[in-house]
Chain A
Amino acid sequence: MKSLTIRNLSKTYFDPYAGKHVTAVHDVSLEVAEGEFVSVVGPSGCGKTTILNMIAGFIPTSGGEIMVGGNPVRGPGPDRGVVFQSFALFPWKTVLDNVAFGPKMRGMGRAERERIAREYLDLAKLSDAAGRYPSELSGGMQQRVGVVRALANEPDVLLMDEPFASVDAQTRMTLQEELIRIWQAKRSTVVFITHDVGEAVFLANRVVVLSKGRVLEEIVVDLPRPRTWDRLDEDPDFKVLSHRVLQLVRSA
């Protein structure tokens, strides 16, 4: 687990249809401390997914630098685990083999990588699904596997791109609570992208509000942990913070 440093990050595309350059991310700087949980929130088109894709190394930057534990990012790598909105589980692998994939890439033998996979599946109460294929699971279950697969590879930083956006509201609340529980057990450094203000505040130590490719404001969330929706739903501090973030996002 390491810190994440982003300095003066920018991304410019050439749009061949419009015939001009478009700036998606403009001079963004962000420091995420070791073991910190940061939510990045903003309306669609604000550049939040572009930033995440650059941190993950999926797309090149146009300027600035990204460093994990002091090492500059060049392309995708196992030091940054990613949880995708579309889950991106391998349909041809069982749940166990999906979770064991990272350890397998690190050259671990079958017995050891399966032991690690089972340990993490236990953590998310997924042991019963180990032998099943992703298509046999519900959306909520699939994303649990997606989170566990990223964690089982023990990345320095966990990047989550609107991971719960495509599951139903009840399942989403459960997944958020489980994520908090697992994060508290493992204390990973997390960057969590979302457009859901309540989700951003509920999960994070700090919420970064983006607008048109720039950081609009950062808000520290000092709500006590462990957090559950039963406790926070009517909590006045949570309401005040959520309201403030919502105002910022709407003004963005």
Chain B
Amino acid sequence: MTVLLKAWSVYVRMTARWPAVATIVPFLPLLAVWWITVELALFPRVFLPGPVEVIQAFGSLTYKGILPDYLQDSVMRLLVGAAWGIALGIPLGILIGTSAWAHKALWPLLLFFQAIGDIAWLPILVIWFGYGLVTMTFIIVYTVIFPIVLNTVLGVRSIPVTMHRAAQSLGAGPLRVLLEVVLPGALPNIVTGLRNGLGYGWRALIASEIIVGTSGIGFLMFDARRAGSVVEILLGMIILGLLWSIVDGWILAPIERATGQRWGLVAR
């Protein structure tokens, strides 16, 4: 009993010092189960390779330069798509959130097009733009933009009217109200929208790379299927998960902590 308590206390102190430990530890049992399953040879190795083979594949693909190139392609596509999604989505969300007329005119359209979904656009996009970057960028922007617009609208509309009035009676004109009240007031929701949008966009990117891509992590996985290399498929899946954890934990979560949580708008 005391040994368990001691181990627990060590764990608590470790995670306090290095928060990353808390992220890694839950994966250890999963890794162990995977390894044991492979070692017991329950399935043929070709169907289910072990962690060591995956790491070896990582090494050789990195050495050949394929993995870094593909990773860079995927991330760049996501960034370009996200940048467009942000640049279009936030102003559109603010317009719909602040103007009753824009809301009346655009909200039903927004809900309609949101329902069509990203992948459902692929057939027509392939006919229009072919297999390539334009099609993929369209898909990502399309996926990223809806969560951003919808959450921005929600954020703008949840700002109490007294907040606008306070700013106005302190001498703020429309532009100042936009910059000092509407934008910061909606920011926690905008960040949430961005977080969801990037998450969906990442998945849409992989899906579109599988179907129309000539490079990227999605393409790597689909290409590996053609070659019958389960190792590379598993590697691709692990990289997808890892990359998202990094983006979420190192970029998006800190932004959330610095804004909504700091201001007491979102529960910690």
Does the CB pair A91–B170 fall under 8 Å?
no
Which residues of A are found within 8 Å of B168, using beta-carbon distances? 57-58, 75-77
Q: Evaluate contact between B176 and A105: CB separation under 8 angstroms.
A: yes
Main secondary structure of the interface of A (DSSP, over half): loop
Q: What's the minimum C-beta distance from A82 to chain B, rounded to whole angstroms?
A: 4
Q: Complex: how many Å from CA A90 to CA B177?
A: 12
CA distance A188 to B160 in the complex (A): 28
The docked-state distance in angstroms from the alpha carbon of A84 to that of B160 is: 12
Q: Are A135 and B166 in contact (CB under 8 A)?
A: no
Q: Map CB proximity to B onto A81-110 as digits: 1 under 8 Å, 0 otherwise.
A: 110101011111100000001100110000
Cα(A136)–Cα(B169), bound, Å: 24
Number of residue pairs across A and B with beta carbons under 8 Å? 75
Bound-state CA distance A78–B168 (Å) is 7
How many B residues have CB within 8 A of the partner chain? 22
Residues of A within 8 A of B176 (CB): 105
**Interface pick from B48-56, B67-75, B139-147, B259-267:** B259-267
**SS of B interface (majority):** helix
Chain A contributes a number of interface residues (CB within 8 A of B) equal to 29
Considering only CB atoms, which chain A residue lies closest to B166 in the complex? A88
Of B163, B168, B181, which is in contact with the most chain A CB atoms at under 10 Å from its CB? B168
Interface pair A136/B264, CB less than 8 Å apart: yes
User: Would you give the shortest CB distance from A143 to chain B, in whole angstroms?
Assistant: 13
Q: Which residues of B contact A93 (CB under 8 A)?
A: 184
Tell me whether A133 and B263 are in contact in the complex, defined as CB-CB below 8 angstroms, given that A77-B171, A78-B170 are known contacts.
yes
Q: Find chain B residues with CB under 8 A from A90 CB.
A: 163, 166-167, 180-181, 184
Assess the B263–A91 pair: CB atoms within 8 A.
yes
User: In the complex, what's the smallest C-beta–C-beta distance from A108 to chain B, in angstroms?
Assistant: 11
A80-B169, A102-B170, A105-B170 known; A86 vs B264 contact (CB < 8 Å): no
Binary CB contact string for chain B from 163 to 202 against chain A (1 if under 8 A, 0 otherwise): 1011111111000100011001101000000000000000
CA distance A233 to B136 in the complex (A): 75
